[in-house]
């Protein structure tokens, strides 16, 4: 397992290294360097607006800048000056399996850093665990609203610390079975819509069991299923990609689409997806009713799910931008 330490002191770094021994790779990253790369342009980059809101949409350009810099730091964590030119791919780097973050500042800075880290990780199910002393636990818990997954108390003995890490890395849903035959109709419905109505070629990149039920992206269309199966299915986009798709479908410039039109457009997209998926499931053992889909704005909102249901994520790429399908369902009864 690859663990990235962000803003941890030398003492806490030593505590983590002592707990994991040599079983896991540990990389140290300074969050100030990470966020500064996203906020301060290099001489050949266009200026990027300051990060002023931790809970609002962040321009895709800045998300890519943070992600590129994160990957560059993981490739060369000891370098104090890692510059990633615009349009240049950083040296290949393996993203971490777990991020441990320490909020040096109990305020807006920490909120911005966690939000930047979450967006830098993209549509990847990589947990961010906030490490904090007992006195900072209340503030640390607030960071779960902008991208953190859990709070880990430090200082801590090696064994309980390792157990905390294991808990964060567990997949959601326990031992409940994954209904794989149900996923393909939604995959087909999504790719068909993107190709026929938006004129985009869609590539499926990853399929995995999630460790939580939080939605990726800035805006999501959510479908509630009932009948032979029950649960939820969501399609999540970054705001930029959602605008591009809605713009192509409505024959409008993406920049001219209002927030209301964007909501309506995403709602129509997921309505078509649900209708097509329902038709594909008709006559099978998974025939179901799909309620009128809804649209959820905001990153890191929890997807409604039945009990201990698993959550499957399918990550796609369209027009060099990622989006995701998330499925959390179980058989009824």
- What is the DSSP pairing of strand 288-290 with strand 219-227? antiparallel
Given a cut of 90, whether residue 35 has pLDDT beyond it is: no
Asked whether 243 and 82 are in contact (CB, 8 A), the reply is no
3-class state of residue 180 by DSSP: helix
Q: What's 69's DSSP letter?
A: H
pLDDT bin (cut points 50, 70, 90) of residue 92 is very low
pLDDT of res. 246: 93
Query: At how many degrees (to 10) do helices 259-281 and 180-196 cross?
Result: 130
pLDDT for the residue numbered 263: 92
> What is the structure's pLDDT at 312?
92
- How many Cα neighbours within 13 Å face the side chain of 321? 20
The reply to whether omega before 216 is within 30° of 0 (cis) is: no
pLDDT(108) > 70:
yes
Q: What pLDDT is attached to residue 74?
A: 53
Instruction: Give dist(CA 184, CA 188) in Å, integer.
Output: 6
Strands 128-132 and 219-227: unpaired
Q: Tell whether the model's pLDDT for residue 32 goes beyond 70.
A: no
How confident is residue 181, by pLDDT bands cut at 50, 70 and 90?
Answer: confident
In the prediction, which pLDDT does 115 show? 87
**Which pLDDT tens digit goes with each residue over 112-156?**
889 888 888 889 899 999 999 999 999 999 999 999 999 999 999
- Residue 33 pLDDT level (bands cut at 50, 70, 90): low
| CA dist 76 → 72, 189, 275 (Å) | 6, 41, 48
Name all domains of the chain by residue range, CATH numbers in brackets: 2-169 (3.40.50.2300), 180-331 (3.40.1550.10)
Average pLDDT on 236-264 reads: 91
């Amino acid at each position: 397992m690859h663990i990235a330490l962000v803003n941890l002191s030398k003492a806490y770094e030593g505590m983590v290294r002592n707990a994991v021994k040599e079983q896991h790779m540990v990389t140290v990253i300074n969050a100030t360097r990470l966020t500064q790369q996203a906020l301060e342009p290099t001489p050949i980059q266009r200026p990027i607006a300051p990060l002023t809101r931790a809970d609002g949409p962040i321009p895709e350009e800045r998300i890519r800048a943070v992600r590129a810099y994160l990957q560059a730091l993981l490739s060369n964590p000891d370098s104090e000056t890692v510059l990633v030119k615009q349009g240049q791919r950083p040296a290949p780097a393996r993203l971490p399996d777990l991020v441990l973050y320490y909020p040096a500042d109990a305020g807006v800075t920490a909120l911005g850093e966690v939000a930047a880290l979450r967006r830098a990780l993209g549509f990847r199910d990589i947990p961010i665990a906030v490490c904090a002393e007992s006195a900072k636990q209340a503030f640390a818990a607030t960071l779960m609203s902008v991208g953190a997954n859990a709070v880990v108390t430090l200082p801590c003995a090696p064994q309980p610390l390792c157990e905390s890490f294991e808990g964060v890395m567990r997949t959601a849903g326990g031992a409940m079975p994954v209904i794989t035959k149900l996923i393909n109709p939604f995959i087909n419905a999504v790719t068909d819509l993107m190709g026929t109505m938006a004129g985009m070629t869609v590539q499926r990149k990853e399929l995995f069991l999630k460790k939580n039920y939080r939605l990726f992206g800035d805006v999501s269309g959510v479908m509630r299923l009932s009948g032979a199966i029950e649960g939820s299915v969501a399609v999540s986009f970054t705001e930029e990609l959602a605008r591009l798709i809605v713009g192509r479908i409505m024959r409008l410039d993406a920049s001219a689409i209002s927030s209301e039109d964007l909501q309506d457009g995403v709602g129509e997209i997921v309505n078509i997806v649900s209708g097509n998926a329902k038709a594909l499931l008709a006559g099978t053992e998974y025939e179901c009713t799909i309620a009128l889909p809804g649209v959820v704005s905001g990153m890191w909102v929890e997807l409604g799910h039945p009990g201990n249901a698993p959550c499957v994520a399918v990550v796609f790429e369209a027009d060099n931008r990622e989006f995701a399908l998330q499925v959390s369902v179980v058989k009824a009864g």
